[in-house]
């Protein structure tokens, strides 16, 4: 009797462990372990480009000379480095947008009004409101600059 129980136990073990299972692929869960490039999810509302928008504020017209005024741009660079680099870089997004090529996206009047009147702009200007959403509601602080300071920064931004 002991031999029969042993043989049945071994037979059951062989049948239980040696059984080949077929997997059905009927749209069920399938795991693929190969690495794939993961693209970051785009959360941007795609801030519009509008060169005709002059913004909300004291500046209604800005004329740039054909050539950059190097003295004015140097003064603007010094002011930019002192107060703007906490949130902005030329070619890299930070707390605020990268500013290289800003005049391909915004009018000079809009840029100066954003520098001089960020509070009014984020309340009423559609682009400033979209930028506020794009940058997680990070508000641009009013630095209480003069129009001359804003104009020098605007000139410096032309050099980026």
- All residues at 6 or more sequence positions from 98 whose CB lies less than 8 Å from its CB, including other chains: 88, 89, 90, 91, 92
Contact 136, 50 (CB under 8 A): no
Contact 142, 84 (CB under 8 A): no
As to burial, measured by CB atoms within 10 angstroms (0-12 exposed, 13-18 middle, 19+ buried), residue 158 is middle
Q: What angle do CA 143, 144, 145 make, to 5 degrees?
A: 90
Q: Note if the pTM is more than 0.85.
A: no
pLDDT of residue 7: 75
The model's pLDDT over 83-129, given as tens digits with 9 standing for 90+, comes to 999 999 989 888 999 999 999 999 999 999 999 999 999 999 999 99
pLDDT at 44: 44
Check residue 41 and give its pLDDT: 38
- SS3 at position 151: helix
The count of residues in the chain is 160
- Specify whether domain 70-157 bears CATH 1.10.760.10: yes
Could you tell me if 56 and 119 are in contact, meaning their C-beta atoms sit under 8 angstroms apart? no
How many angstroms separate the Cα of 134 from the Cα of each of 21, 29, 35, 110, 138? 52, 36, 30, 18, 9
State the pLDDT at residue 38: 45
Strands (DSSP E) contained in the chain are none
Tokens found for residue 139: 């508000």
Q: What is the mean pLDDT of each run of 10 residues along the chain (160 residues)?
A: 72 62 56 52 61 91 92 94 91 90 92 94 92 90 93 93
């Amino acid at each position: 009797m002991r031999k029969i129980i042993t043989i049945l136990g071994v037979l059951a073990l062989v049948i239980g462990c040696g059984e080949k299972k077929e997997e059905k692929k009927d749209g069920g869960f399938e795991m693929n372990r190969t690495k794939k490039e993961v693209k970051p999810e785009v959360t941007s509302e795609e801030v519009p480009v509008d060169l005709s928008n002059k913004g909300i504020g004291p500046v209604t017209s800005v004329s740039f000379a054909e050539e950059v005024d190097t003295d004015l741009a140097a003064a603007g660079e010094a002011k930019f480095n002192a107060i703007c680099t906490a949130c902005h870089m030329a070619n890299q997004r930070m707390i605020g947008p990268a500013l290289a090529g800003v005049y391909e996206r915004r009018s000079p009047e809009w840029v100066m009004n954003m520098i001089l009147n960020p509070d009014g702009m984020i309340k009423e200007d559609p682009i400033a409101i979209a930028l506020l959403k794009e940058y997680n509601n990070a508000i641009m602080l009013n630095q209480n600059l003069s129009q001359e300071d804003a104009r020098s920064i605007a000139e410096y931004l032309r050099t980026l």
